[in-house]
Amino acid sequence: MTNWKYTLHRSAWSALDLLFPPVCGGCDKTGSRWCEECQKKVKVLNGIVCDVCGLPQEQVGVCKTCLSDRPHFRMLRAWTVFENPIQHALHKLKYRKDMSMGDAIAFQMLPFVKNLNWQIDMIIPTPLGKQRMKERGYNQVAMVAKPLALALQVQYAPDAITRRKETRTQVGLTKPERKKNVEGAFQSSANVKRKHIVVMDDVSTTGATLSSIAEALYSAGAENVYALTVARALQHHSLQIV
């Protein structure tokens, strides 16, 4: 069956590209929003990872961290490593109002997401706090989550999760601090009952935010909650994840 909604969505961005010549989100070269060279540099995380948190490891199974302190989501998967060119592209999407990068990233992510073989009904972007939403004007995660939902022909539900309290940024916090920072921060609507859900964020480090959202979704009656991010910040990038 033809997915006309996704086709229309992509056509709209292609038309805008004709009117406003695009610049690559990864290398800033003119000609395309996400050039072939930058696409080839993306390091897809498709090796051996923890069954739950998705961190790369040497053997199949659940990592020691998840065995001792299991997150609330069923599993977390990230498409790529949080480094350039995707780091630069996400920065443009998040801070420089280049919303076109959301569609470009989603398009290249799509085969990876399909290969996960998750049976889902709904995709939910991680919500911003009120102040950050006011400052930015849009949710950068939604720019990727919506086209993915259209392509997969599942419900896009940005209002299914709301923030009960404002939280400080997770950047610079240790894993315990991150977990405490988002504890009880989210509330789910009733329309998630018996649903199989993907909750999405742009970057994951410890997965604390996604775990807190999953907890709220399960409390509201969700059947299964998966977590998906564009990128994963790994330890060798000087980001503390212990």
Q: Where are the domains of the chain?
A: 44-237
Q: What is the mean pLDDT of the chain?
A: 91
What was the pLDDT predicted at 132?
86
What was the pLDDT predicted at 173?
67
For residue 144, which of 224, 90, 91, 211 has the smallest C-alpha distance?
A: 90
Q: Identify the band that residue 237 occupies on the pLDDT scale cut at 50, 70 and 90.
A: very low
What was the pLDDT predicted at 183?
72
pLDDT in tens, 32-86: 999 999 999 999 998 999 999 999 999 999 999 999 999 999 999 999 999 999 9
R_g of the chain, CA atoms, integer Å: 17
For residue 152, which of 191, 111, 182 has the smallest C-alpha distance?
A: 111
Q: How far apart are CA 13 and CA 165, in angstroms?
A: 35
Q: Identify the band that residue 238 occupies on the pLDDT scale cut at 50, 70 and 90.
A: very low
pLDDT in tens, 179-231: 776 776 798 987 999 999 999 999 999 899 999 999 999 999 999 999 999 99
What was the pLDDT predicted at 172?
64
Range 119-138 average pLDDT: 92
The CATH code for residues 44-237 is: 3.40.50
What was the pLDDT predicted at 165?
75
Q: Which two tokens stand for residue 105?
A: 């990233």
What was the pLDDT predicted at 171?
66
Range 162-191 average pLDDT: 75
What was the pLDDT predicted at 242?
31
Q: Where are the alpha helices (DSSP H) in 78-160?
A: 86-95, 100-115, 130-136, 142-152
Range 102-116 average pLDDT: 97
What does the DSSP 8-state code read for residue 61? B
